[in-house]
Structure 1
Amino acid sequence: MSTEQTIAQPESDAVVQTPTLAGRRFRSRDHYVVGREKVREFARAVQAQHGAHLREPDARKLGYEGIIAPPTFSSVIGITATRALLDSVLTDYDLSQILQTDQVFEIVRPILAGDQLTTEVVIESIRQFGDNDFILVGFSLTDQRGAVVQTGSTTIVARRGAEVDANIADTVENIMMHPRPSAQAAAAAGALVAVDTDADAAGSARLPQPNPLVHSLPDFDRLSVGEQLPAGTAEVTRGDLANYAGVSGDPNPIHFSEQAATLAGLPTVVAHGMLTMGLASGYLTSWVGDPTAIEKFSVRFSGFVPVATDAPSTIEFTGKIKSLDPSRRIATVMMAGTSDGRKLFGRAIAEIRFA
């Protein structure tokens, strides 16, 4: 969706305090324990069909003892850290005025049930473009051994000091999950701890990780640049959106409230961008045959999927091999997603490892 549809005009041209905020790093005070049932719930929410997301014997066939989380599972952990950052550090922005524009996942190893993960986030940059601030937040997840499991980044766009429409504020207040702590309460709770020294920032490392062979279905040596992947489709209903909102912890009411969506300038309730990305990763997995084969996945969101009350919406996925790296046996795939003729991704690129 466009920023004009969802962000009110600011009262004045606020000055971005980039020198103060850019480069600041924070670590979660407590770790996140990856539950087996949570992995299963998330897999169902993004329609990830591979058996390794649901059953230990299927995961062991891929070389892992615990069931394997889908590639975008870390968004469940990341949304908590991002909200804590907005509540306690980036307090000049209102949550109802924020949109996600880009998401990148770099997977060192898959997240497994039983992992104990600590989150670090860093405000990489704040760039002002017109009335909007583009905030790039980097993240890393480390396990109980102190080894990096996954890194990546999120870009959000927001307006500083914008006056929120009273109708939107009342609607959000009446629909959002409660209780939501104030910024002061969030800061006092200390969900995030500032990392002040280079030594602390370097506390996690890319330690050697088990790297079982992937069980890819296509033969890498038979792939060619420009080759088209088989087309795929996914359907989403209002029930799917409500389920994903609960499983992922994303409370934005434009994904389940007709009133909130209309006030935001949308034609109707729309699917989460991260749900769309999760479905896209499932499309890639169905082609390659192994969810652990995806090493990097990045998306720039450019459109939305409207979901009516009385019928599912269909998303169509296609892909094309952009390049091949024989030394690493990596295929870079360019993806496209559309719904009712609407382009969903400005850019979607995946790096996939082959046997």
Structure 2
Amino acid sequence: MPELAPDPTTPAAGAGRHYRIRDHYEVGREKVREFARAVQNSHPAHRYEADAGKLGYDGVVAPATFTSVLGGITTQALLDHVLTDYDLSQMLQTDQVFEIHRPIQAGDRLRIDAEIDSIRRVRGNDFIVVKTIIVDEADVVVQIGTTTIVARLGADIDPDLVRLVEGVVMHRRDVGGDPDVLIPLDGEQATKAPALAESRGARPVNTLPGFDDLSVGDELPTATRRVSRGDLVNYAGVSGDTNPIHFSDRAAELAGLPSVVAHGMLTMGLGADYLSAWLGDPTAIESYSVRFSGFVPVPALSPAEVEFSGRIKSLDPERRTATILLSGTCLGKKLFGRAMAQVRLS
């Protein structure tokens, strides 16, 4: 997506402001397991303590995209109480970045800080960048998620779509509906940044490919993941992303889609499993970013197939890390405008 000159009427309200979700998030063992199942992340460290222990962790390890659940809580709270001029049905996620300073594991007690990083108006749309900072009990940042969403402005909302959404969307009695869910952070609170988790180099990884075995330009083997309508419904419940275009044919039709489509974050989660399967160690992923450019249509009576591939873009011999360019396609169409991961290798 090329850089566009911002409209001079770009809204300033909300941009640069910091918030904190009032309650902490406690990572449960079964939540990690059910999320791993929902995104088809199959490494045994996501399910069994013994396998997580082999990687140096006390509890089962959360998949790389697990904090999308916390990001969803944060974004919904901001839409409910700060970004109230926007309608969720007119919003589209375009980019997602995960910076993983250490993997999250069952038993973690986490704080969620949020920042509206920027709001830019471009050609009648608002590009909103929300940063979610995940902090542990020691006041150390363990992960940072950055989400870019585009809000269409001035578009008439189909009343049929409004009625349909009211009729089929899951009733919300969660944190987002609480008027006191967000605590504004001002002055010193907003500028005082917690420390980052110590260097990932301090914890060994156990990857199948070794750093010395790889060269720039090497291709990762292609692999296919399958997604059914049942997978979409399951992911909607586990993640909290209940947009009806992912399970209602009528909602998808009214939104101009050819059929029900998979969640972008589900597709990204499948990509994380592709990467973890090649690595053999899901904790070796240090960052993972995607710019979405397509979607996965899921037929009613058969699963959709997503094909993943990858290539080594660069290698850092000092840190023994690799930057990997990822590709995902469905029915021959590209799903990502850009997808990249940085991984550490044995």
1:304 aligns with 2:298: no
Distance 2:318 2:182 in 1: 41
- Secondary structure (helix, strand or coil) at the match of 1:40 reads helix
1:218 aligns with 2:209: yes
User: What RMSD over aligned residues (CA atoms) do the two structures have, in Å?
Assistant: 1.8
1:153 aligns with 2:143: no
Q: Which amino acid aligns with 2:233?
A: A
Deviation at 1:144, TM superposition (A): 1.1
Does the Cα contact within 8 Å between 1:93 and 1:161 map onto a contact in 2? no
1:344 aligns with 2:338: no
Does the Cα contact within 8 Å between 2:100 and 2:285 map onto a contact in 1? yes
1:62 aligns with 2:52: no
| Counterpart in the other structure of 1:208 | 198
| Counterpart in the other structure of 2:286 | 295
Q: Which amino acid aligns with 1:339?
A: C
Q: Which amino acid aligns with 1:334?
A: L
Deviation at 1:209, TM superposition (A): 6.7
| Counterpart in the other structure of 2:89 | 96
| Aligned counterparts, 1:224-263, within 5 A | 224-263=215-254
| Aligned counterparts, 1:45-194, within 5 A | 45-160=38-153, 162-179=155-172, 186=177, 189-194=179-184
The unaligned stretches of length 5 or more in structure 2 are: 1-6
- Secondary structure (helix, strand or coil) at the match of 1:171 reads helix
TM-score, L = length of structure 2: 0.94
Q: Which amino acid aligns with 2:46?
A: H
Does the Cα contact within 8 Å between 1:14 and 1:160 map onto a contact in 2? no
| Counterpart in the other structure of 2:257 | 266
Deviation at 1:199, TM superposition (A): 3.9
Deviation at 1:125, TM superposition (A): 0.9
The unaligned stretches of length 5 or more in structure 1 are: 1-12
Does the Cα contact within 8 Å between 2:11 and 2:120 map onto a contact in 1? no
Deviation at 1:165, TM superposition (A): 1.3
Distance 1:266 1:232 in 2: 26
Deviation at 1:212, TM superposition (A): 2.2
Distance 1:87 1:196 in 2: 20
TM-score, L = length of structure 1: 0.92
Determine what percentage of the aligned residue pairs are the same residue: 58
Distance 2:195 2:302 in 1: 47
Distance 2:198 2:339 in 1: 29
Q: Given the alignment, which residue of 165, 171, 186 partners 1:196?
A: 186
Deviation at 1:64, TM superposition (A): 0.3
